[in-house]
Amino acid sequence: MAGTVPTEGRNPAIATRERRESTVTPSGETPYLVVEDLTVKFPTADGVVSAVNGLSYAVPLGRTLAIVGESGSGKSVSSMAVMGLHDRKRTQITGSIQIGGDEMVGLSEHDLMKVRGDAVAMVFQDPQSSLHPLYTVGNQISEAYRVHHKVSKEVAKKRALEMLDLVGIPNPLRRFKQYPHEFSGGMRQRAMIAMGLVNDPKLVIADEPTTALDVTVQAQILDLLNNLQKEFGSAIVLITHDLGVVAEMADDVLVMYAGRCVEYGTAEDVLARPRMPYTWGLLESIPTVSAANERLRPIKGLPPSLLSLPSGCSFNPRCPYKDRVKGERCTTDLPGLLPVDGAGAHTSRCHLHDKASIYEAEVAPRLG
């Protein structure tokens, strides 16, 4: 099993567009997944919910992008949009999503089905509820393989057993016949990863893969994902709210707030030299063992309702640095996503003029 992508099941009918050279990833490589100006809106009885607003990012093969944000920031919604999993009748999606050069937005359900589970796979958050309780694990993995490959049940079973072994599940033959509720939490997540990777996808979207697991198991799962990436060279989009996970795994980081990207850069840039008050708040709120006697420092306030976003910068009601911007621009003008220094790949969405010095002087000391 070298990391070759099977050619059966690829849709020849999708017209290939020229890859847009302008969207380069923060690390400077040509991307496999390109999301441009993605907007996802849900019309509801109470108004239009803008879950995602003008999101753009790119991920090359072999690299991991971590999308970080609170609940309701739009991180899961944007990834479901990449797979086309939203209900067409209840969702308005605009913008561009290109996977391997092929445009996904506006694709028919029939063509989307060919991509899902094959070129792009998703690993979901809670394996307890994300695996079908009434079918054996082996059955579900084989099914994932047989959707995109016309093979017999025996061949699919062999493949499923290979995958179970690959993700480190002992006794694959016995486990194949078991049901999800007979697995432990960590093993269930491994089984989900096996199911996601069974068709050698070039893009893996992992939506909070470790949130439902305890810390020791979390480390194992992240190691597994890292190793699989090294071996098969897939692009990974890792959705998480846990900055520890980000530090472990991410090459690039995108911070989301209220449906918009507020900071985007390499992991080193964003974690060591963050340039947005929201990111500062996130870093400050991480509890540390050394500061055991100090109170926790959360970001004050709550995320805004997506039905009625604040005018100007969405973060302004909670931002402690709002007054340092002249003329109350934060409440009136939405900041653009601009490079933090000259022309780098590290961008942030904030009006503050002297972000670097504020960070060095005030925030960094508090981080210990």
Partner 1 sequence: MLYFVARRLVSALSVVLVTLIVTFALFFVAPTDPAASICGERNCTTQRYNEIRENLHLDRPKVQQFAEYTAGIFAGRTFETAGVVQECKAPCLGFSFKSDRPVTELLKTRLPVTISLVAGYAVLVLTIGVFVGSMAAKRRGTTGDRVLMSSTLVLSSVPYYIVALMISLYLTILYPILPRGGYTPISDNPAKWFAGLLTPWLVIGVYNCTQYARYSRGSMVETLSEDYIRTARAKGLSDRVVTYKHALRSGLIPVITIFGLDIAGSLAGAIFTERIFDLPGLGNLVLESLQNYDLPVIMGTVLVASVILVAMNFLVDIAYSIIDPRVRLS
* Closest alpha carbon to 169 in 192, 146, 151, 139: 192
Q: Output 38 or 83, the one with its CB closest to partner 1.
A: 83
Give the count of residues interacting with partner 1 (CB under 8 A).
Answer: 29
Pairwise CA distance, residues 225 & 74, whole Å:
23
Burial class (CB in 10 A: 0-12, 13-18, 19+), 70: middle
Whose structure tokens read 């890859």?
19
Question: Is residue 57 exposed (0-12), middle (13-18) or buried (19+ Cβ within 10 Å)?
Answer: buried
Pairing of strands 338-339, 260-266: unpaired
The Cα 85–Cα 141 span in angstroms is: 20
Q: Which is nearer to partner 1, 118 or 263 (CB)?
A: 118
Sole window of 93-101, 125-133, 237-245, 315-323 interacting with partner 1 (rule: CB under 8 A): 125-133
Choose one: 81-89, 208-216, 239-247, 338-346; the region binding partner 1 (CB under 8 A): 81-89
Q: C-beta of 90: minimal distance to partner 1 in Å?
A: 9
Query: Which of residues 204 and 258 has its CB atom nearest to partner 1 in the complex?
Result: 204
| Contact flag: residue 263 with partner 1 (CB under 8 A) | no
CA distance 260 to 51: 9
- For residue 82, the SS3 value is helix
195 vs 245 by CB, closer to partner 1:
195
235 binds partner 1 (CB under 8 A): no
- C-beta of 7: minimal distance to partner 1 in Å? 16
The answer to whether 11 contacts partner 1 (rule: CB under 8 A) is: no
CB of 144 to partner 1, least distance (A): 5
Q: How far is the CB of 113 from partner 1 (least distance, A)?
A: 5
Nearer residue to partner 1 within complex by CB, 40 or 122: 122
CB 119 within 8 A of CB 84: no
> Using the rule CB under 8 A, is 239 a contact of partner 1?
no
CB of 115 to partner 1, least distance (A): 7
Please answer whether residues 272 and 246 qualify as being in contact, where contact means their C-beta atoms are separated by less than 8 angstroms. Answer: no
**8 Å CB contact between 180 and 188:** yes
Query: What is the full DSSP assignment across 19-67?
Result: P-TT---TT----SEEEEEEEEEEEETTEEEEEEEEEEEEE-TT-EEEE
Residue (114 or 349) nearer to partner 1, CB: 114
Closest to 273 (Cα-Cα) out of 253, 287, 291, 256: 253
Counting contacts by CB under 8 A, is residue 118 touching partner 1? yes
Q: Which stretch binds partner 1 (CB under 8 A): 42-50, 82-90, 234-242, 319-327?
A: 82-90
Binding mask 158-197 for partner 1 (x = CB under 8 A): ---------------------x-x----------x--x--
The strand pairing partners of 36, in sequence order, are 96
Site string for partner 1, 127-156 (x = CB under 8 A): --xxxxxxx-------xx--xx--------
Is 83 among the residues that bind partner 1 (CB under 8 A)?
A: yes
Contact residue for partner 1 among 65, 115, 197, 239 (CB under 8 A): 115
Q: Find, among 265, 267, 262, 300, the residue nearest to 281 by Cα.
A: 300
| Contacts to partner 1 by CB under 8 A | 83, 85, 89, 109, 113-118, 121-122, 124, 126, 129-135, 143-144, 147-148, 179, 181, 192, 195
